Structure 1
Amino acid sequence: MRSRFTPLLFLLLVAPVFSSSSSSRPQWVLQRVPVVLAQQTEARSVPHFLSPARLDVDSPCDPECHKKAPRPSYWDLRRLLAYETLHSDGQLTETAIGIYGYDPSPDTSPAYSAPPPGKAGRVRRKRQIFGHDGRFSIAGQDFLLKYPFSVAVKLSTGCSGTLVGDRHVLTAAHCVHDGKNYVKGAQRLRVGFLKTKQRDTRASSTNYTNHVEGGPGPYDPPTDDKMKFQWIRARRTHVPKGWIKGNANDIGMDYDYALLELKKSHKRRHMRLGVSPPAQRLPGRRVHFSGFDNDRPGKLVYRFCRAGEETSDLLYQHCDAQPGASGSGIYARMWDGRRWERKVIGVFSGHQWVERQGASREFNVAVRITPLKYAQICYWIKGNFVNCREG
């Protein structure tokens, strides 16, 4: 049974969390991040765009596999964080980067290490609903066009994304590149924004508030039959070489993220980036994300769940999701010293089903925004490192 967006859930989502003192509030802890700076850009062969788009990605490397993997060296990280840029005219460039002010102790993103012989089994797909379906379909312009739901966008390749700048969208790398080639449609990539076809007067935010607070007036459930997508072309797409160096199963999802620069500003409020805190510091150890799951066409689907295991680069959880939700921004809501603020701390990558030594485990996986990844993505957005030193 599909869950609908309820008044109680709305109050839980938007109401501030009260506490006896500011020290007891879960807080964003700003930290000094390293500098990831472009050094040299060279032209590459024009891609063929022959690969079918993938809406999900698997990996045979489970959390233990990642935890046991050797740490990358400084030179490894320079290769992994170098990036390709696909331009809307089909041209492709590759940019080498330098890393400055990097301390390996707080950010020890593991490189991929193949599972020991006999440890890895076949990877298979399985439905991505864990028990009761806990997703909520968001309906009605009074919610779809308001923050934080308004930051969720749809990619023309079938994935989701999140607004992180005036004209920038964070998504999963596999939505535009399969690890070896750029997918069909990547050159003419478009980003879809839900907007109204015409004014819908059947449900207003005032009527909703009155209903929630026990005031007069019957509550007319919101509908989204008057919503449509407005599409904006992408000007440039940045993908880290850590994703492109092999295929998805070779690198264990660690670099499954990409940034799109749109041809024009979207004129909506965007969500700020944040360095992913340890799971135990998240309020209720909980993460949230919204995306356009394929089994609910045209619907924006919101979900939240408790974060599970984590490595330096990945966050494992059992949030219900289906293909199409890949690329959604994983976010948390904490106190920044002045107000409660949501920040994107990861990118939803997909489902992972691993069989090892006869035992099966399954996860949904998100790529965490580490200090180095924050520095890189922020540089892509800002075009400089001066405004990217704290995350």
Structure 2
Amino acid sequence: MINLGIFNSVYVSSFLILIGASGIPVIEIIPHHTLNLPPTNFTALGDPQLNTVCSEQCIIQKSLQDQLDQVQQLDYETTYSNGSRTLTTIELKLPQNQKKLEDKRSYSLRSRRQIYGPDVRFSIRSRKFLQDFPFAAAVYVSTGCTGVLVTERHVLTAAHCIHDGKDYVQGARRLRVGFLRPGVNPSLRWVRVKSTRVPRRWIGAPAELSMDYDYALLELRRPQSQPHMSLAVSPPLQNLAGGRVHFSGFDNDRPGELVYRSCRVKQQTAHLLYQHCDAQPGASGSGVYGRLWNKGRWVRKVIGIFSGHQWVEVFGQPREYNVAVRLTPPKYAQICYWIRSSSCKDG
């Protein structure tokens, strides 16, 4: 059984978000070594849905692991369409001036299933909406997941959609991304993936810890004209409009349709957003976005990636939650480096 005092003080309070003076963290990624790895065999079977279990020991282990291993968490593996791989190790340069913010909300947990009560998801069928922001940024990943277009040629998705923690999934050998073409009979316009990047902390991680780093970046062979979404560091809940998140995905119970949902975040830890949004397999990898105040107006930005479901023991009772991976300052810096080969100066 998890002691809620331990859950709050050890796991939440020990992971304070580092924010720069401007409100946006500026973390510099410096490549250290790039090593050639043996080609991948693409042997993993893959699963479009990730399920994990987290106990009291898991929570304590997360706390200790992150405190002792801040730099290595940003090392990453790159895989190309021909199966060749490299491992890049990095140095992390933190901001000189930091202030620490702690989310002081109450962290009471409730039971949650994938779908319960009335299903509040709805399908986006209008041609106008499907071709407009933000819905046009949602893409289908050929391994059975969803992704979000974050530049003209980069898609962010869940790591488990292409790699099971031990090897790349079979479908990743000829990985493609599908853009939904609306019409009476909707179809997908396919684009080949040139390369993928996965955090080193995802590869070989214990199952109960892997969800924290369940994200990957796909580079497309050619740029796309579709509207794309911008990234931002996942903020404290009080800075998220209405405390709500939104995401659209290709849930497998509604084939050929883009499914939208929105709900309030019930709690967050250093790495994860726990929410009650209805979801089915296939939605994994969806870009989770919120409305953030920026330069005098509310803007929608991706602050996380929908991963799947996690069982957490509360008062001796296992309970299930829908979970998204937060874009923390180091993760945000890492993804920016993957895209630009430089640090992001804005959020």
TM-score range, shorter chain: 0.7 to 0.9
2:275 is the counterpart of 1:317? yes
Contact kept, 8 Å, 1:63 with 1:311, in 2: the verdict is no
1:185-334 matched pairs, under 5 angstroms = 185-196=171-182, 224-247=183-206, 249-334=207-292
Aligned to 2:77: 84
2:123 is the counterpart of 1:134? no
SS of the counterpart of 2:202?
Answer: helix
1:1-391 matched pairs, under 5 angstroms = 30-61=23-54, 65-66=58-59, 69-72=62-65, 76-101=69-94, 106=100, 128-196=114-182, 224-247=183-206, 249-355=207-313, 358-385=316-343, 388-391=344-347
Shift of 1:30: 3.9
Aligned to 1:119: none
Query: Structure 1 185/238 Cα, relative in aligned 2: closer, same or farther at 3 Å?
Result: same
Q: State the distance in 1 between where 2:299 and 2:318 align.
A: 38
Aligned to 1:113: none
Contact kept, 8 Å, 1:162 with 1:171, in 2: the verdict is yes
Q: So what's the TM-score if we normalise by structure 1? A: 0.76
Contact kept, 8 Å, 2:41 with 2:83, in 1: the verdict is no
Query: Structure 1 234/107 Cα, relative in aligned 2: closer, same or farther at 3 Å?
Result: farther
The CA deviation string for residues 95-149 of structure 1, in whole angstroms up to 9 with x for no partner, is: 10110025797499xxxxxxxxxxxxxxxxx951132111011102111111110
Shift of 1:302: 0.2
Query: Structure 1 260/279 Cα, relative in aligned 2: closer, same or farther at 3 Å?
Result: same
Shift of 1:266: 1.1
Shift of 1:67: 6.8
Which ranges of structure 1 fall in alignment gaps of 5 or more residues? 1-28, 109-125, 197-223
Contact kept, 8 Å, 2:43 with 2:170, in 1: the verdict is yes
Q: State the distance in 1 between where 2:34 and 2:316 align.
A: 47
Contact kept, 8 Å, 2:163 with 2:169, in 1: the verdict is yes
Contact kept, 8 Å, 2:58 with 2:208, in 1: the verdict is no
SS of the counterpart of 1:254?
Answer: helix
Shift of 1:187: 2.2
Query: Structure 1 107/189 Cα, relative in aligned 2: closer, same or farther at 3 Å?
Result: farther
Shift of 1:56: 1.1
Q: So what's the TM-score if we normalise by structure 2? A: 0.85
Query: Structure 1 106/239 Cα, relative in aligned 2: closer, same or farther at 3 Å?
Result: farther
Query: Structure 1 375/138 Cα, relative in aligned 2: closer, same or farther at 3 Å?
Result: same
Q: State the distance in 2 between where 1:323 and 1:343 align.
A: 23
Q: State the distance in 2 between where 1:155 and 1:69 align.
A: 30
Contact kept, 8 Å, 1:130 with 1:318, in 2: the verdict is no
Q: State the distance in 2 between where 1:281 and 1:107 align.
A: 12
- One-letter amino acid matched to 2:53: P
Contact kept, 8 Å, 1:331 with 1:346, in 2: the verdict is yes
The CA deviation string for residues 246-270 of structure 1, in whole angstroms up to 9 with x for no partner, is: 25x1424110000000000011221
Contact kept, 8 Å, 1:60 with 1:252, in 2: the verdict is no
Q: State the distance in 2 between where 1:289 and 1:318 align.
A: 12
Q: State the distance in 2 between where 1:354 and 1:73 align.
A: 20
